[in-house]
Amino acid sequence: MAIQSVGVVGAGQMGNGIAHVFAVAGYDVLLSDVSRDALDKAVALIDKNLDRQVSREKISAEDKAAAMGRIRTTMTIADLGASDLVIEAATEREAVKHEIFAQLLPHLKPTTILTSNTSSISITRLASRTDRPEKFMGFHFMNPVPVMQLVELIRGIATDDETYQALLAVVEKLGKTSATAEDFPAFIVNRILMPMINEAVYTLYEGVGSVKSIDLAMKLGTNHPMGPLELADFIGLDTCLAIMNVLHDGLADTKYRPCPLLTKYVEAGWLGRKTGRGFYDYRGDTPVPTR
């Protein structure tokens, strides 16, 4: 199953990173979004990140020019229909993903592999609403995509082996490493990571430690490159809450109950770096803890 052209739905933080690595690896990429502004910002960011790779001698200036030449954009989702592989990288809301797939399906080739970059939602359930559950998989990249080496591959109950092998080969061509996860809520990485972040928020909520002391303790005490609250701000507190809700609803275990303080921050619109405030306030020259 030869894959040469790739369609990416969503030009946000994950979508632009996915477009970046596929273009560098030699794939023709069509990036789609409902917002022209989002598409323009994504292309500008890819250009900037490629410049950084050139300056660090990770790629050559010629490689960068070739990669940028492989990226096209569109606001019409039907244009992705001719792609060999489509990667949905929209917001982590199941209803939105179902709507995207519904819009795509009438335009896809019979051989097109359909995937989702979801970090927690059931692949089997997403696939069941399409016309090709056997050609549907979870294709979960880590953030930031150009830097992180892991890709989680998640097979739904109906995914066939040909599709799985094709995506294994794609991950290898990208120069990344795959980990295969079963289709259970949040898969591997977020099944382990998000409860740790949620527990850090509980530690803050219960007054065990301040934002600064919690992050410092985990960075220096366990050698984590980022503290859990700093990491939550980087990921987005709305995304963290959404994944905790998927775990809580899907596994029906109280140990996955989202911390009320996490919910409160999301209700306030303090979602982390992307909104300027979360567990830290990013509006000044240096981040300042908000509690």
32 is catalytic: no
SS3 content of the chain, % helix, strand, coil (to 5): 50, 15, 35
Say which residue the tokens 């990208």 belong to: 174
Residues making up the annotated binding site are 10-15, 33, 92, 97, 119, 143, 274
- Alpha-carbon torsion angle 151, 111, 97, 145, nearest 10: 20
Per-residue three-class SS string for 165-182? HHHHHHHHHCCCEEEEEC
117 is catalytic: no
**What would the DSSP string read from start to end of 121-152?**
S-HHHHHHTSS-GGGEEEEEE-SSTTT--EEE
Side-chain-side CA neighbours of 88 within 13 Å: the count stands at 31
CB 145 within 8 A of CB 21: yes
Among 140, 178, 198, 230, the active-site one is 140
Examine the residue annotation and report whether 140 is marked as an active-site residue of this protein.
Answer: yes
Contact 210, 291 (CB under 8 A): yes
Among residues 49, 116, 190, 198, which one is catalytic?
Answer: 190
The catalytic position among 119, 122, 178, 198 is 119
Feature table: binding site for NAD(+):
10-15, 33, 92, 97, 119, 143, 274
- Catalytic one of 88, 94, 152, 230: 152
The residues annotated as belonging to the active site are 119, 140, 152, 190
